[in-house]
Structure 1
Amino acid sequence: MSSLIQTVLADIEVGIAEGEEIGEDRIEGFEIILGGRGDDRISGGRGDDLLAGGGGDDRLRGRDGDDILVGGAGDDELEGGDGNDTFLVIVVPGSDDGDDEIDGDDGRDTYDASAATQAVVIDLDRGTAEGVEIGSDLLTSVEGAVGGKGDDVLIAGNAVNFLAGGDGADVFVFRTTASLANDGSGRDEIRDFQVGDRVDLSKIAEAIGGLVFGGLLQDGQAPPVHQITFYHETFGDGERTVVRTVIDLERDEDLQFLIAGRHELTEQDFILAATECPADQPRDTV
């Protein structure tokens, strides 16, 4: 369907695809639907579907399964439905892929801008994703963020988030203690931490009166208050570096997040004051 100009309506669950140029067709056993240049309406089924809108202002709905939704050019509306869905950004040289509205719905859903060659800012706290190549997208119920090849800024929200910066000198931002506490539902994870990447805790440090880097936490050592410490822990799928800061011992405010792999962290891996932020990093206004 990718060569079509007129609008296409396709629904995998109902088993129908129709449009002025294609008539009305029965579709069975399909898990991949590619739209054309019109304003398409494409819905998935119960399996793991790949839905791509192509050109035009499309509306994609994944329904059940772990779906991949690609809006393409135009201002698209994408809804994941149930399952762990991925919203994949495409990059067309000389243009952006439109200003999209994305709703992950249920499951652990991911906004994937790995195709971007220039910097992107993905803010899971405020529900936005912006960049020269990706436009300005609105995000709802999206828990994961994947950056591209530029120096990206990925900002955690109050859900359990998983962040991957990709290439470039990326900054992972935790604005508030709530963005680390996650209402006790689990720990955030940075899934790729490379040389040049940094973790920005400057807003938290400002709010609590300061943070300093304390280094490796030894076995049996009580974690010091208002210090950033780390230790290593082995999980079933590999080793993690656990980063920890205790805000208040009496109230049991012990905030942690994970970094995939074994890392010997230093003070240079953290931003603990606003004056240390990279010059091109967006400044928080609230």
Structure 2
Amino acid sequence: MAGAGQDDIQGSDAAEEIHGNGGDDVIDGGGGADIVSGGEGNDHLSDGAGQDSVSGGTGNDTVTAALDIVDDTYDGGQGIDTLDYSAALMTVVIDVVAANASGAEIGTDLVTNFEVIKAGAGADEISGGAASESIFGNAGDDVISGGSGNDTLSGGAGNDVIADGEGADCVLAGTGDDIVLAAADGSNDIYSGQAGSDTLDYSQAAQGVLVDLNTGQATGFDIGHDVISGFEQVVGSAGNDHMNIGTTAMILEGNGGSDTFEFHIPEGSSSAKVIHQILDFMVGDRIEMSRYEIFEDVIDSLEDRFEETYGDDADAQPLPIRVRHEGTDELQKTLIEVDMDRDEHYEMTINLTGHHMLMIVENP
């Protein structure tokens, strides 16, 4: 049993009972079936090999779980406590609600009262609970669900799938090609795709959403007012969505409803060529740019039209829009090319999956 100071205790291979008491202690249980208690203070506890029971006590404690294939018991106690499985190389499944963590390297552990969870290098599955938690997937292709509460979810390296759940959450997808599933909870969330080719998916929302990639905001009755950044693909809701797209190449999917895709280049932006893609353009959807609207036409007489350049003759500077079709028997696409700054260079291309007969009109 240690005193009230900052103690450093190393256990042996025997079964021991170690109590840190007061102070910010560092305790390693070593081998054997140990009982380790941090007591007061911000302690760092490692159980070591053997079927151990670790309790953080009061304070903001860190418990580093051993890779001993033994069923251990970890209790963070009071404070903001961290459960650390970052040494694991294989898959770890952590369920905060069920209060367990399992994996080939760790056995099946009983885990309670942790607010920060760190997974390892494997393809981990982490499910949060009702409290506000911080979850770190680290390396590997992880699946992370925040549950309820105001959570911070970090995917780390790997191609992760992250669902924030209820609450005002912050999602940092990390490196890799990640998918962020936005909850239809009406809360104001922060979603950052960060590095890689990342997807922001609002398909859980029943009502339409406004996604403005120029201002980095997404709003709607079902989703609240979200701050978004670092995404290369966006999936809309089941309702009528409106997406504002700027100079960054995007892959867009309206999902259900009659969706509007609005394209424009903000003043002062580079005129470098950019290619956008719409995966599910259909009857009822619209493309807007400048004063022009483009939508699916059902008139058969347009079927043989291969390429046209549109513009308003009454306008001294018409917006050139060129439509053409490409593809093979297996894959068809419709290309809309636009000279946004009227310099005779078609710097923006909108690639529609499939062969579409389009009508282009000018709004007054």
Tell me which interval the TM-score lies in, with the shorter structure as reference length.
0.7 to 0.9
- Of the two structures, which has the highest relative contact order with CA contacts closer than 8 Å and spacing of 6 or more? 1
Alignment CA distance shift 1:151-1:247 (3 Å)? closer
Of residues 325, 328, 333, the one that matches 1:240 is 333
Alignment CA distance shift 1:31-1:231 (3 Å)? same
| Rg (Cα) greater in structure | 2
Deviations 1:218-271 (CA, angstroms, capped at 9, x unpaired): 47x88986332311122898321100233567552443211111111123xx6x
Q: Report the Cα offset of residue 144 of structure 1.
A: 1.6
| 1:47 partnered with 2:140 | yes
| 1:200 partnered with 2:288 | yes
Please give the residue correspondences for 1:1-286 in structure 2 after superposition, counting only pairs within 5 Å.
9=82, 13-15=86-88, 20-21=112-113, 29=122, 31-91=124-184, 96-176=185-265, 183-184=272-273, 186-201=274-289, 204-205=290-291, 218=306, 226-234=319-327, 238-246=331-339, 252-267=345-360, 272-273=362-363
Identify the range of structure 1 (13-22 vs 102-111) with the bigger mean alpha-carbon deviation: 13-22
Q: Report the Cα offset of residue 135 of structure 1.
A: 1.3
Unaligned runs of 5+ in 1: 1-5, 276-286
Alignment CA distance shift 1:100-1:25 (3 Å)? closer
Structure 2 CA distance, aligned partners of 1:212 and 1:104? 30
- The answer to whether the 8 Å contact 2:326/2:333 transfers is yes
Alignment CA distance shift 1:51-1:187 (3 Å)? same
Structure 1 CA distance, aligned partners of 2:232 and 2:337? 21
State the identity %: 29
Deviations 1:258-285 (CA, angstroms, capped at 9, x unpaired): 1111111123xx6x43x6xxxxxxxxxx
Structure 2 CA distance, aligned partners of 1:265 and 1:67? 37
Structure 2 CA distance, aligned partners of 1:147 and 1:65? 24
Alignment CA distance shift 1:155-1:25 (3 Å)? closer
Alignment CA distance shift 1:198-1:20 (3 Å)? same
Unaligned runs of 5+ in 2: 1-77, 97-110, 296-301, 312-317
**Corresponding residue number in structure 1 for 2:102:** none
Structure 1 CA distance, aligned partners of 2:150 and 2:117? 22
Point out the structure with the larger helix share.
Answer: 1
- The answer to whether the 8 Å contact 1:119/1:149 transfers is yes
Alignment CA distance shift 1:37-1:255 (3 Å)? same
Compute the TM-score of the two structures, normalised by the length of structure 1: 0.75
Structure 2 CA distance, aligned partners of 1:212 and 1:193? 11
Structure 2 CA distance, aligned partners of 1:53 and 1:81? 16
- The answer to whether the 8 Å contact 1:173/1:200 transfers is yes
